[in-house]
Structure 1
């Protein structure tokens, strides 16, 4: 039966591949992005987040079946902190009321295997406290520092997101309302966002030394789209608060048998 999906970051990469897959399967997709989307919104700002909710509400008629909160930035800039964590939370929380009319509501966010790497503790603390001004201030400090400091912004934002998913999924607002809330954690995917790491054989070799992916190596957005489609389908009725690593084996190598 056709369902109505909201996909953020729908103009390119994983979001575009997911939107295309869902449309091919006969579903309706309301795409959200900075451009080339049904709803244009900048999720780094409060105004953009409000525009997202208003635009999706109008486009959907007030009822949706699934949220795929995929929009994100990998650049080592403070804006990534705003989009990856606070923009994603605003998407999930802001659109959650629209799921109330669905017989099989679902929600999923895109985290990253980068969440496995050590975070910046001050930035992580600000994220988990919900203190956006403090988080952006700390992210700006990291951005202005050495490259290894600036590079902490992305992984820390994704670790905070994964922890928020774990904390929130079992609450009354989500599980209590019959909404499976989960996340995915991709490894290195060939998208415009990762072009600097995947465009040449030398770059690919270098990134795979940092991010080991023994199962088939770097992959395409469509592979991630299949997972997102299942997580937000009617078939997924009981997965709750899980961060599903689709990373070619990075998680298994980095954490070994330490699943806790």
Structure 2
């Protein structure tokens, strides 16, 4: 059965790999990105998120089978809060009516193994309260205190908590909409390949994210798991954080 799936961050990385995989299976993909996508949108702003949701809904005539949010940034700063957290939560919430109209709606969001690292409690609390202004103010405080490195874990930890909470709220499980997180370990990208090429940085990265099973990930490895979670076959998995990390999470904990 052909399904229609919206994918944010579809122009590169995991989003591009998933788009290719799903299209190869005969499904329709609605890409959402800053460029090279069916829907061009800036998910760092509320207006951009709502515009993206409206555009996707219009393209699918109000019936959407799945959403996968791959868009995100690892550059330290307030964009981590804007894109990684609110860029997913506001968009997914706005698309809930189109998902509820599907016979087998599914949502998967891309988290991170970094959610196991130390987070800023004020940033997390403001995100979970849905207060973007307060979250950005807390992020500015963290940056001022030279704790910008905590913003990525904060955004991904808050996202995982939001998914776990949302999964059983009215309009989701009772509407037949599973929503889950896939949390990758180190995924080979141009950025991480540069780090791996530096022996000192590789040692630091391997200590932070030890991956005893098969080592580093390719984008396709993560895409395969996302594809299952948004398939019609996933009837009962919801509110879960699935670590695709070669054993990093269990090693760290």
TM-score (norm 2): 0.95
Structure 1: gaps spanning 5 or more residues: 256-260
Given that 1:12 and 1:192 are in contact with CA atoms closer than 8 Å, whether structure 2 keeps it comes out as no
Aligned CA distance change for structure 1 residues 204 and 143 (closer, same or farther; 3 Å): same
Show structure 2 runs of 5+ residues with no match.
none
Partner of 1:214: 212
Aligned length: 253
Determine if the alignment matches structure 1 residue 14 to structure 2 residue 9: no
1:191 correspondence with 2:189: yes
Aligned to 2:153: 155
- 1:199 deviation in Å? 4.8
Instruction: State the 1:119 CA deviation.
Output: 0.9
Q: Is the 8 A contact 1:78 1:139 kept in 2?
A: yes
Corresponding position of 1:112: 112
Alpha-carbon offset, residue 143 of structure 1: 2.7
Q: Offset at 1:233? A: 0.3
Moved over 4 A (4+): 199-202
Give the superposed CA RMSD: 1.4
Preserved CA contact (<8 Å) 1:13 1:192:
no
Corresponding residue to 1:229 among 227, 230, 253:
227
Q: Deviations over 1:136-178 (max 9, x none)?
A: 11112323442xx111000011000111111110122110101
Instruction: State the distance in 2 between where 1:193 and 1:60 align.
Output: 35
Conserved 8 A contact 1:3-1:27: yes
Distance 1:9 1:41 in 2: 10
Q: Name the TM-score, length of structure 1 as normaliser.
A: 0.93
Residues 199 and 20 of structure 1, relative CA distance in 2, 3 Å threshold = farther
Partner deviation per Cα, 1:93-137 (whole Å, 9 max, x = no partner): 011111122111101111111011121111111112211101111
Q: 1:204 is matched with which residue?
A: 202
Which moves more between the two structures, 156-165 or 197-206? 197-206
Q: Is the 8 A contact 1:196 1:203 kept in 2?
A: no
